[in-house]
Chain A
Amino acid sequence: MTDRTLRGKTAIAGIGETIYYKHGQSPDSEFKLALQAIVKACDDAGISPHEVDGFASYGDDRSDGPRLAAALGIKELKFSNMFWGGGGGGVCGAVGNASAAVATGMADCVIAFRSLAQGQYRRYGRSGAAAAVAGDDAFLFPYGVMSPAQRFAMKITRFMHDHRIKQEALRGIALACYHHAQKNPNAVMRGRELDEAKYDSSRWIIEPFHHLYDCCQENDGSAAVVVVPAERAKDMKNKPAYVMACGQGGDHRSAAPVHNMPNYPSSHFGKLAPRLYAMAKMAPSDMGIVQCYENFTGGVLMSLIEHGMVKPEEANEFLVKDNLIVEGGKMPLNTSGGNLAECYMHGLELVIESVRQIRGTAINQVANNDAAIIMGGPMVTPVSSLILGSEATL
């Protein structure tokens, strides 16, 4: 078993992001955004896009690998991969799949990316206009359970009920994300500070627990990372962020139809997290950089608990802004603003922020920056997580 691991075999050598826009405000098409992010990531890595030989994405990304390869003049496409499942559950999985391809020699230089123009295509937060819905949706849509927020709200309600966790714990998460976005020039919510009063008085999206500020944005943009073999990354332009572990998947029947998954009040990381830490040979306490995908703050709460970062009985006390911000916080969270306040780039912005933190070039730089955990797409299935590390963690 010991050699069947990703640990330390690959690294992220380049990162690229477009300008992040509110949905509908990108002047460029979704596919052009993808190309922009990929070209930037290659430039950051100090390579030509012609050296890329693979693509990995998730969330049913419409910018498919073969078209990208043709557009970029890729000489030989060796890996073209899509992670099943909607939403951002595949964000870390895409990086893991790219790493798996590189680690096993299937490809040598793989881009993991996401491109999303919700203005050009349908918004996630609006239901389609179909007169009838078939399949599993037929058991949900006619009852007004349609949007991602509505699909997940009852998981959060039950989890909060079971563990007696209060709204204020979710508020702490939202405040920290908005706080970190204020210094980030590429954060869509820069200049829109959030305080307790503004959070408390914001409108309900869904009772209980989903105020406006508990919900992610809807955006246009693209982000990409370059994954190469670890030995190559050592000699490249930027300090490598080594892929120490990736976990992906779901709990027992977590995709059971009509909300019948056995472990219902869950972000679905319970089985994955121990595998993740075992592969990385690290523990939750090693993670100085903590990035957690916020579709909704309740998902962050469950993710942090299921990854062992917070105990449920301590959540009310611990999840306050002062503990979650970079200035003196015990566990700085989503240091670029995340999906809530930087951009809903389906979580890939969290991977990129983790790389900046490991390099020491983040705007809200943490001091303990050797290891990063990224938790992707809570409550969907499959989900995925990633641990990145500096050379010191190898």
Chain B
Amino acid sequence: MSDSYLPAGMPAPAPHIDGLSKPYWDGTREGKLRIQKCRGCQSWQWGPEWICHRCHSFDLSWEEIEGKGIIYSYQRPHHPVHSALNGFGPYIAVLVELPAYGIRMVGNLLGDRLQSVPIGAAVEAVFEHHNDVTPPYTLVHWKLT
């Protein structure tokens, strides 16, 4: 895929072997951000786990959430640690806090790879579809709003 943020050849995401995270990855294919919500105590949970860490219910649903957050932290790696990144140059990864759900997510910050990254800035989720690989998958990035 030519317009992806990072070069072709990066590792593709696969669900947990035991199926735990499959609903998340299925959701991103539809352009939806889904995380776990406990039917026992109604609290949100991310990353995925088989049990609610608060009330120990095993009855967890997957609910769509709004992809809006703020930049909690970031990094701009320069040194390529994977062959797909050789010669690519620096890029930005962000840790995004979604206050409405009390969770954080990791993705890339779209736009100029050399831009300054303000901690606390508002961002929204952007879906990056990788359709021409087998199996296809969708990553979730972030852009400043």
Contact = CB atoms under 8 A, between A and B. Distances in A.
B50 to A, nearest CB: 12
Contacts of B82: 126-127, 144, 146
Contact of A144 (B93, B103, B105): B93
Interface in B1-16: 6, 10-16
B53 A150 contact: no
Contacts of B73: 154-155, 157-158, 161, 264-265
Interface string A166-205: 0000000000000000000000000000000000000111
B98 to A, nearest CB: 11
Contacts of A265: 73
Contacts of B104: 258-260, 264
Contacts of A206: 75-79
A258 B46 contact: yes
Contacts of B10: 141-142, 144
B46 A144 contact: no
A134 B16 contact: yes
A259 B78 contact: no
B55 interface: no
A140 B107 CA distance: 7
A293 to B, nearest CB: 21
B13 A133 contact: yes
A205 B79 CA distance: 5
Nearest to B76: A207
B100 interface: no
A305 B106 CA distance: 27
B95 interface: yes
Nearest to A256: B47
Contacts, number: 142
B90 interface: yes
B105 A257 contact: no
A207 B77 CA distance: 6
A164 to B, nearest CB: 12
B48 interface: yes
B49 interface: yes
B81 to A, nearest CB: 4
A139 B106 contact: yes
B62 interface: no
Contact of A204 (B46, B48, B78, B107): B78
B78 A143 contact: no
A253 B11 CA distance: 27
Interface string A281-294: 00000000000000
Interface in B86-100: 90-91, 93, 95
Contacts of B74: 154, 157
Nearest to A124: B81
Contact of A138 (B21, B77, B83): B21
A207 B113 CA distance: 12
Nearest to B90: A207
Contacts of A147: 81
Contacts of B13: 132-134, 138-139, 141-142
Nearest to A150: B77
B127 interface: no
B49 A257 contact: yes
Given A140-B106, A258-B104, 8 more contacts: A133-B12, A142-B12, A143-B106, A150-B81, A157-B119, A207-B76, A258-B46, A258-B106
23 contacts: A126-B82, A127-B11, A132-B14, A135-B17, A138-B25, A139-B106, A141-B10, A142-B10, A142-B13, A144-B77, A145-B75, A145-B93, A146-B11, A150-B77, A154-B93, A154-B95, A203-B79, A204-B79, A205-B79, A206-B78, A208-B75, A258-B104, A260-B104
A-B residue pairs, 6 tightest by C-beta: A257-B47, A138-B13, A258-B47, A154-B73, A153-B75, A207-B76
Interface of A: 125-127, 129-147, 149-150, 153-155, 157-158, 161, 203-208, 253, 256-260, 264-265
